[in-house]
Every structure is written in C-alpha cells, then in structure tokens.
A and B are shown apart, each in its own frame.
Chain A
Amino acid sequence: MLTKRIIPCLDIKDGRTVKGVNFVELRDAGDPVQLGRIYAEQGADELVFLDITATVEKRKTLVELVTKVAQTVNIPFTVGGGISSVDDVKALLQAGADKISVNSSAVKNPDIIDEMAAEFGSQCIVVAIDTKNLDGVDFVHTHGGRKPTIKVTQEWAKEVMERGAGEILLTSMDHDGTKAGFANDITSEISSALSIPVIASGGAGNMQHFRDVFTAGKADAALAASIFHFKEIPIPALKAYLKKEGVPIRI
C-alpha cells in the first residue's frame, strides 16, 4: 500500500540552515547536509530544502549544496526558493535534486510550469502554493505569504495541475506558525479535486495534527520544519504513532 509521507523542511541561506536546530548529534547545527542525513536515518520519507538567499552568488552556492546532499542522502529531496527559469531547474536536477519547487515565479509567469514540465517531466515539478483566507475566499499569496494575488487558490491548484505540475505543496498562511493543526478543509478540498499528490504544510503542533491531515485532510504528504528541528516531535515517534492510528506509513 502506498504510504503517507513525512517531510522535514530545511530553510537555507548562503548554504547554511537558517532556523535554529537543536540536535545533539550535530557537530555543526548549521550544516544542511548533516541535518538531511540525520533526518533520512530517522525515517523521513523526503526532504525539502528551501533557499532564501537573495544574493547574486545564490545559484552557485545552491548547486554546490545540492551536489553534497545528493552525494550523502539516500532518500528523495526537493529544492525550492527563487527558481524562475528552465536553466535554474536544469542546473539543480543535474546536480542531483529529485524535484524542484516553484512558487512566486509561477504565479507571475504560469507558462514556466508548462515549459519546465515539458523539458523535465511532471514528476520533478512541484508547485508551491501559499494560501490565505480573506473574507471566506481562499486567495493565493506570494513572497512568503505577504503579497495577496487575485488568484483563487482552488482554481490556481487546478490550473497548475493542468499545466503539468506533478505535485502541489499547499501552505496555509492562516495556520503556518500557529501549531494549531494543518488546514484540513482546504487540503481535503484540493486533494480530492486533483489527480496529483498534495503535500500539506503549515500548522503542525502535535502528532494528532499529522493523523488528522492524512485522514480528514486527505493529504498525501505532510511537511513541517521547527517541530522537527527542535525535536518537539521526533520522526520515529511520529511514525510509530501514525502506524498505530492506522495511517499507512513506512517504518
């Protein structure tokens, strides 16, 4: 049976992890390669590296990092953050990334989804969507959720699938950072309406939240950052819990 995926997300700046991490096993808490390896050993199903570097040196540093991760880690990983062209994607995939994710650049120029999917195949194109509810309507936001757009989230999700996205990473800005649980309603709505997997993100605070997003939220995968980094929820304990709760999970 196909299992639900648990995905830790690492924020990267200038080749280093940004948010503090609290791992005694780590000699260098800022080293994304070591952190990725530890997560893989603990049973993470995939990894996401989100690059927030804003300098011109960005691409070179990121490609170097992706190469090191690919050499070290034996599970799939996605790279996102500021990717806006077919050339960006090519460099990252050639360095060993399994998938890339696009967000603001796809909103600005939706045709790049078609171009990237045609060139590299849908299986490696993840479209990240940041959504926020305004007066009862879900709108796509960009720039880390700060800028609202006129796109309705459910419509945009369908459009990116039709343009060739292989997966959707759906982050609820209303839930992100609250630790009050994932946005199960909109996740379920989009996951049921689409024929591609949906990764839920934003709001994970305890193990029940993961169970709920996989059952009520119908998510195919769940992504979180700080609760894993600070060991509030160790991955092996989370997976054991989910298995006990009847969620199909890889142990």
Chain B
Amino acid sequence: MKVAVIKYNAGNVRSVLYAMERLGADAELTDDWETIRKADKVIFPGQGEAATAMKYLKARKLDELIKSLQQPFLGICLGLQLLCDYSEEKDTSCLGIFPIQVKKFPAREKVPHIGWNLLENPADTPLLKEIGDEPYAYYVHSYYAELHPEYTIAKTHYMLDFSALLHRDNFYAMQAHPEKSSVTGDRILKNFLAL
C-alpha cells in the first residue's frame, strides 16, 4: 500500500507520516506528480493559512493534479477547507471539489476551536464504520466548512453546526486531525486505507 502525502507549505505533516507508519502503511511525503498519481491513496494534510497554501499549490500546478486524481483522497484540516469552493480566509478561491463555503467562526466564544469535540450523525459509509457511539476528534481551527445536504457525512457543533467530514466520489475530507484523535482517528485512517 503506497500512500502519497502531498508536500506543500503546510505544518504538521510529520504527525501524519508517523500515524501512517503506526498503521503499517508505506507513506511518502512528496510533491512529485508521478509519485502522487501512482499512489494507492493520497493524503492532503494541512495546517496554516489558505491563501498562501493555494498560491503554493498553483505555482506547482498541484491544484490541477489534485482535481484530476481518481484514487481515494483524504484532505485533513486546512486540506478540507482547500477542497471547498471558497474560503473567507484572505478571500481565497479554493479547489472547488466541494461546492461549499468556508467561513470564519463568529467571535461569540473562544476562537480557534481547540480541543476534542463530537462527530455527530455519521453517515453509513465505509470511512466511518465502527467509530463507536461517542466518536470524539481533536480540532484546531478558526474557519469551518458549512453543512452540505449531500456531501456532509458527519457534523460537529461549536457555536453552530459545521461539516466535520465530507465525501464526494473519491474525495474525502476531515476538519479534525485524525492523526491526533486517538482511537477514533486511528479507526478513520484505517478505514481510509481499506477503501
């Protein structure tokens, strides 16, 4: 099982690689087109800021590559946001896999949303099988993807309901960090590797 972890100017990639190692997958951090295209699975990690990340992806034509990929693909955190249409973060036009807007949390409560929160109403889908009755995941983010009637496969509540996980065709995305989400995160990553 070859997993390509897309290399771009995002933090926190080391933890994703270690998680893959723990789960027995052969993961490589790469921005090479052919390596990514040939991989069995692709992970698009993230932590950072949307505009800078999109600029970096476009400069290397990784935006076009991502949109053309056919194998199971998992965006994490900022990776989820970049797969949406648009982010309010620095007024950024994103990849458009999911026809969803990414918005900034209102300042009613503490922002960023940091800590463990519940994945609610998980859809009956292979990515979310056997995640237990109270699946908690670890979040660190200031922007959220709105709910979508078709593509949202789990939601989380913080001030409002937002998309915790998204799925369309071969594209999956998770706002929380599965690599830091203990047994729930390990389960979701295992399910992803088994797709």
Contacts and interface: CB of A to CB of B under 8 A. Distances in A.
**Is the pairing of A and B real?**
yes
Given A76-B138, A121-B47, A220-B110, A94 B14 contact: yes
A106 to B, nearest CB: 19
B18 A75 contact: no
A197 B117 contact: no
B115 A45 contact: yes
Given A70-B18, A195-B107, A220-B110, A1 B182 contact: no
B112 A98 contact: no
Residue from A3, A5, A123, A220 whose CB has the most chain B CB atoms within 10 Å: A123
A224 interface: no
B48 to A, nearest CB: 7
Instruction: Assign chain B's interface to a size class.
Output: 35 or more
Nearest to B12: A98
Interface string B15-52: 10011011000000000000000000000000111000
Interface residues of A, number: 33
B185 interface: yes
Interface string B153-195: 0000110000000000000000001011111011000000000
B102 to A, nearest CB: 16
A104 to B, nearest CB: 24
Contacts of B131: none
A5 B138 CA distance: 11
Given A3-B115, A123-B47, 12 more contacts: A2-B117, A2-B158, A70-B14, A74-B19, A75-B180, A94-B14, A96-B15, A98-B12, A120-B11, A123-B140, A166-B114, A250-B134
13 contacts: A2-B116, A2-B158, A4-B115, A71-B18, A74-B22, A74-B183, A76-B138, A93-B11, A124-B11, A166-B112, A197-B115, A220-B115, A250-B136
